[in-house]
Structure 1
Amino acid sequence: MSEIQNYNSKVTDPASRKMETFSYLPQLTDEEIRTQVQYVVDQGWQPAIEHTEPERANDDYWYMWKLPMFGETDVDAILGEAKKAHEAYPEHHVKVIGYDPFAQTQGTAFVVYRGPMK
């Protein structure tokens, strides 16, 4: 078994901060983001968009962009709302959430737009 590496992250170093599991991977391409949103739809999860200031990214609560998109299955509509949130708040991080209605928890969450780190 290979040795697990420590990730040197510090609150005082904004560039080292990570948000959600996908943050440890290279930046997702537009096609990879589309695939993840399609997965949310395929699972029957309810999509929602959230945003927050980069300095608050580690807080438990982000701002909800409008209401959750209950029953939305159009990937373009979901991505369109994420883009609108980014356009309205270009300095914020914007993420897509997939709520699992059966487990009553988030099935997934990933950042699709990153605000500038200060």
Structure 2
Amino acid sequence: MSDVQDYNSSLSDAAQSRKFETFSYLPPLSKDAIRAQIQYIVDNGWNPVIEHTEPENARSNYWYMWKLPMFGETDVDAILAEVEACHKAHPNNHVRLLGLDNFAQSAGTAMVIYRGQSV
């Protein structure tokens, strides 16, 4: 198993070594890749939800909700605008996007779009 990559994680370098959500083990998503993931949420009929938290609290189960879930929203640009507004209002916080599945009553996907900087 020597070809399996080890993801170093440490409390002394929590900002850089911690991994969060679906895509955090990959390089940062490009704008086009983020747009494609939002389109995937819309295509599946999931409800977009934007959340944020301080980097030091990111391991907690509680993240702050940015406004209400965007029930029934199908405009990718509107969802992107809200993600950007959340990031602009909280530039030092992690910002994540969830796609809530009404039928399974769970999150269909979750991804951290912006990683905040530890202070």
The one-letter code of the counterpart of 1:6 is D
Question: How far does the alpha carbon of each residue in 1:39-72 deviate from its partner, in whole angstroms, 9 at most, with x for none?
Answer: 0000000001000001111111110000000000
Unaligned runs of 5+ in 2: none
1:27-106 mapped onto 2 (5 Å cutoff): 27-106=28-107
Percent identity over the alignment is 62
**RMSD value, Cα:** 1.4
* Structure 2 length-normalised TM: 0.92
Runs (4+) off by over 6 Å: none
Deviation at 1:2? Answer: 7.2
Residue 43 to residue 2, structure 1, CA distance change in 2 (3 Å): farther
Q: Provide the C-alpha distance between the structure 2 equivalents of 1:21 and 1:117, rounded to a whole number of angstroms.
A: 21
* Structure 1 length-normalised TM: 0.93
Name the count of aligned residue pairs: 118
